[in-house]
Structure formats: structure tokens, C-alpha cells
Amino acid sequence: MIVPPLFSPIPPAIHPRHADVEVRTTAWAEAHRIGSDELRRRLVRHAIGSFAARVMPAGREEVVQLMADFVLWLFGVDDGCCEEGDLGRRPGDLAETLHRLLRVAQNPEVPLMLDDPLADGLRDLRARVDGYGTAGQAARWVSHLREYFFSVVWEASHRGAGTVPGLSDYTLMRLYDGATTVVFPLLEMAHGYELQPHERDHRAVRAAEEMASFVITWDNDILSDHKERGAGGYFLNVLRVLEEGGLTAGEAMSTAIAQRDRVLTAFVRLSDHLSAAGSPQMRQYMAGLRSFVRGSQDWGISSVRYTTPDDPAGLPVAFTDTPTDDSREPLPIEAVSWWWGVVPPGPSPVERLVATRPGR
Ligand code: 3E9
Ligand code: MG
Ligand code: MG
Ligand code: MG
Ligand code: MG
């Protein structure tokens, strides 16, 4: 299946130190022996350092490095324990392992999983989170890890039973099982600020975060479908969910693209509004979410993880500036239709600027 160029109104960018980050992430994976030797050999070819460098193009280099090493670690869990390992079909046993890992993240001094490479890597990541973040950011990182783990246990129960959830349940699972929320605290650490509590927990801010997670994971589903379907085992992505719901493969592709286009246009409007109305920290946070979205897109169309050169995926090489769906109506997905209740009506500040530009 050929994937057409996707809509993206966010400009691309990459941290100038991306090549150094890449080299050090490979060294980190080796030092901590993340994943089996075979999995690690694959992961270090996936340009995960460049991915982090695209997500944080102007971030503090040490935090870009932390993000890169953490994403490699996450793939050690997601590929190694969940999607390719036996634990991924045994939700109860998976929950037990993940609870122990969570204790290591929360209290790295506890004598648990002392010979386990993922626990060893996690202790190192926790020490660096403490070094670059506040106590509140470290606590949020742990609790977001918990919600990621909770969602992959749900996913494992579907994998074990060979079942496919409906669209609303899948959406709810996918807001967490792409590990996007665990990255959010790092966006702040990369620029050395902290959102103020009244902004941090505002429901419009959570809507913007969830919209960013939706676009990042829908894009991943569209761009990783070739890899996932081709692997031959159980796979779960939005295209499969839509096909199980009765759509053809072509209809599923255009429906998923329309959904992410509609959410992305709403995200841009909402984040413009929050940037204009909020504190300087809010402006930085919204810029961080946007870079996360765009960085995931640029990495998604270029990493050999998804292009799979030996059996080429039909991925686009660029993005378009026109959405296939810019409707302001809520998507008919029960779990998330509330988002449209917080998107401001009328043109966003950016749309207003463009409309009043001289010569128009
Ligand atoms: C992604 O879903 C799984 C995460 C654990 C990947 C770690 C990456 C991030 C936290 C950053 C951005 C999120 C993405 C790329 C979704 P999935 O479908 O298992 O990833 P895959 O690469 O196998 O398609
Ligand atoms: Mg060590
Ligand atoms: Mg996964
Ligand atoms: Mg995967
Ligand atoms: Mg995927």
C-alpha cells in the first residue's frame, strides 16, 4: 500500500549535534546491553538519536541525549518485551515485570532486578532525569511511565486473545501505548522550565497534549503499517482497527489520514490560542509539542525502521500543506470528541495574521 504525502503545517528542524547524539546512543545501548544482541543490532540502526534531535531542535544537548537513550530503552521494552516476546501475550506476567521496573524508576536504590539490563538502563535514565528535571517533573515521568505500562498490558490482553478493539477503545489505548506522554516532561527539561500548576493541569492543555499524541501515533500507525503487517504475527494499528470495522484497505488509509488531518488542524488552532493567551512557559511548551509532532513525522518517513530497504515500504518523502479534512466538527470517536469543546471558535492568531498580511 502506497502512503500519500501527509499534511504537516509545522516546519522541520534538527538539533545541530544530532550526529554526536546518535553515536552516544549506540554506545549507551551497548554499555547497558539493552534488548537481545539481535534486537540491539537493529535498534542502533534506526536513527533514534536523530529522532530526539528533531523533537528538541533547540534543546539542551544533555536532554536530547537523555531523550534518545530513553526512546531506545522504550523500544527495548515495546519490541523486546511486548511485541516480539512471550510476555506480550501474557498480560498478568507482563504487569508483574512492569511493576518491578516501575519500582526501579521510582526508587532506583531498591535491590530489585539487579541483573536485568532494562532495569540497569532505567536506573541510569532516572539519575539523569533527576539531574535535569525538578522533583515534580521526575514524579510525572514515573507516573506517565505507569500509564504507558498500564496500556501495554491492555494491548497484551488483545494480543493474547487475538482480538482487535473497536475504534474508541483503540484510541484510548493509543493515547498511552505509544509512550508519547512519557516524553512530555522531557520537553520541559530540554529548555529548563516548568509549566505552572494552574496551566499544567488545565483541561485545554491536556487536550492539546492528547491531540499531539493522537497525531504522532496515527502517523506512526500509517507509516509503520508495512513493517507491522509484514512481520507476520499479531499486529494492532488504526488501519487494522478500521479494516476490522468493515472498511477496505484503501478506505482505512484515507479514513485514518482524514482523522489525523482533522485533529492536526484542531491542534494547531488550540496550540496557537494557548501560546497567545498563556505564560512564556506555555509558549515554550506548545512549541515543544509541535516539534514533537513534526520530529516524529520526519523520523517516521526516513528511519530504516519504517522504510525497510530490503522490502521497501511505499512511504512518502515529503509533506503537503493542505489537509484532506479540516472540518471543525468533532470526530465521532467517543473517547476524544470532547477535545473540540476547548478549541476556540474563529480564526486562530496565526490565521488572523495570514489573513491580514499586506497584499491579501
Ligand atoms: C510506539 O508504537 C511505541 C513506543 C514505545 C515507541 C517509543 C517512541 C516514542 C516515545 C516517541 C514517539 C512515538 C511513536 C513513534 C509512536 P509502535 O507502533 O509499537 O511503534 P513502532 O515503531 O513499532 O511502529
Ligand atoms: Mg550502568
Ligand atoms: Mg507498540
Ligand atoms: Mg511496535
Ligand atoms: Mg507502529
Angle at 291 between CA 220 and CA 238, to 5 degrees: 20
Which secondary-structure segment (H or E) carries 7?
Answer: strand 6-7
Nearest atom, ligand 1, residue 220 CA: 16
Residue 103 in contact with residue 123, Cβ under 8 Å? no
Nearest CA to ligand 1 atom 3: 178
Query: How far is ligand 3, taken at its centre, from the CA of residue 177, in Å?
Result: 6
Which secondary-structure segment (H or E) carries 271?
Answer: helix 249-277
Name residues contacting ligand 1 (CB within 6 A): 71, 74-75, 78, 178-180, 183, 216-217, 220, 224, 296, 305
Nearest CA to ligand 1 atom 14: 178
Distance CA 109, CA 98 (A): 17
CB neighbours of 264 closer than 8 A, spacing ≥ 6? 7, 8, 9, 211, 215, 293, 323
**Distance in Å from the first CA to the final CA of the chain:** 40
Distance CA 292, CA 57 (A): 10
pLDDT tens string, the chain, 360 residues long: the values are 899 999 999 999 999 999 999 999 999 999 999 999 999 999 999 999 999 999 999 999 999 999 999 999 999 999 999 999 899 999 999 999 999 999 999 999 999 999 999 999 999 999 999 999 999 999 999 999 999 999 999 999 999 999 999 999 999 999 999 999 999 999 999 999 999 999 999 999 999 999 999 999 999 999 999 999 999 999 999 999 999 999 999 999 999 999 999 999 999 999 999 999 999 999 999 999 999 999 999 999 999 999 999 999 999 999 999 999 999 999 999 999 999 999 998 777 777 777 777 765
ipTM above 0.85, yes or no: yes
Query: For the chain, which domains are there?
Result: 6-349 (1.10.600.10)
- C-alpha distances (whole Å) from 273 to each of 280, 282, 340, 350 are 13, 11, 13, 9
Distance CA 170, CA 154 (A): 10
